[in-house]
Structure 1
Amino acid sequence: MTTVATPRRRDRPPGPRAPRRPRPPLLLGAATLLLVLLALLGPLAAPYSPTARLAAPFQRPDGHFLLGTDVLGRDVASRVLGGGRTVVLTALAGTAAAGAVGTAVGVLAPMVSRRLGDLAVRCVDALAVLPALLIGLVLAAGFPGSGAAVVAAVALATAPFSARVLRAAADTVLTSGYVEAARARGDTRRAVFRYDVLPNIAGPALADTALRLVASLHLTATAGFLGLGAGGASPDWGRMVSENAPGATLAAVPFLAPAVPLVLLSVCVGLLAARLADLVGRGTV
């Protein structure tokens, strides 16, 4: 009895693997959120009053003062915990105001009329040629000791770039077929903005907001370093660096302590913005 050898079936070579979907930046988001919460809730954990003079100036860290004392003998740890709230709230307010201006100029105005949108963008572009510090100094001179002046300066300095980014994103959506179809069937501008435009520009707007928050943090800290905004003995990370700079050779901790959380927060927000921009470019946001 003869056996017929059957040909062995060749295994099909594996095909190309599907590209892995990039993961959302959960770790960076958690670190950024933790730093923001530390800045906002830090005053509740301060062991002493951040404005009280408790010991000799530039006292070294010990059991009573974990980070020592500053140039006026105030507890550095308490001032670091209390100084982040002003910086973060001012930066967030400036970012929100700039986002509102950018949305009005870059999205809402072109929806009403393209000529109106172009005119609004040209008007906002005039602010881009002015240095951010010059805007802050002018507003601070006109409204001395006002935190709202710093918010306005941050918003005016960052709004032109936000308007440009949102205008470019909105132009792509407004010239698409489904927006024209929505207008043809009688949808109101409010409905078109809410259901057609806003969902499609959410990704670029989110990445732009994160980038503007980095710039707002830098401008707010710079304003505090220059003594602009709300004065007095209230803690502020930027002002604390300026106050303790003359004694940096005697005690480095009061000088570096407020700079470390500010740098960490700026780096985390900057990396988060880069990841969000990457996700937007891949179309996953």
Structure 2
Amino acid sequence: MEKIDDMAKRVGALAGVNANYFDPGTGMLIGLLIINGKILSNIYSNRPVFIISEDGSAYIRRITFEVDAQMKDTLFLVKGVNTLAKGEVLLFTEEFGRKIPKENDKIYVLVKDGVVIDKEYKENLGKGEMLFSISKKYKNYIDDLQKGDRVSVILNTDFPLPIKHAVEGGPLLLLNGSPIPDASLEKKRYGGGIALSRAPRTIAAIKDKKLSFIVIEGYNDFSRGLNYDEMVDFLLSKGYEHAMCFDGGSSASMVIRGEIVNTTYKSEAPSVPVGLMVWGESEH
């Protein structure tokens, strides 16, 4: 977890906004996260994903997605990435940033730079390392796995282009210049009144192939934020074609040139696990 303005300063960004939802109790992010083509968190549900393709174009859409691990002749479905949740096959990367849970009913495969280096548990990973946590019911499939064998992580998706960066969020607001046809179902996918109540919002929106990040105020005298329908109306009035939310409420924040520019909860920059940063062309 890091304050969004500190995050921007650390990476030398011109501007930035908060991104993924997360569990406030653990700080664990919720939903898909891909950075520079590397999977750091698996998809959560049928929620929208903000994507930057390898050619630098921005997209907003729902996608199908799964993570597989190829170990010799066996292909494992990875149920979770960098997570405290349970699953028969889990993947941890060096970005996990905390002690990896050790379970007695699991076998561990330690990989560095795509090659098996051990079949033992390791609580903290070094540069280039990954740890697979695999249910002992699959022991027969990995008994002959040896040091030096190659292991591949495969991202399977219906998105037609190579993905460079991806962030899952929601709700989905617009597609192809119109409200989404299943808006009533989309509102129900989010608990806690996220879609129906007025709240501060962080939004990604695309118009004429140009990307905008928008933060809707909600902690001042003139605004309490927008609900789902109000966001749709606002974005349509501005001519946007595709749009989705990221985490909002007390997480909603935008930093420009080192300064938070929206009114935040308790008037301080929120700490979040993931931010989306923007650099000038000459800076990055």
TM-score range, shorter chain: under 0.3
TM-score (norm 2): 0.26
For the pair shown, which has the larger CA radius of gyration, 1 or 2? 1
- The structure in which a higher percent of residues are strand is 2
Greater RCO (Cα-Cα under 8 Å, separation 6 or more):
2
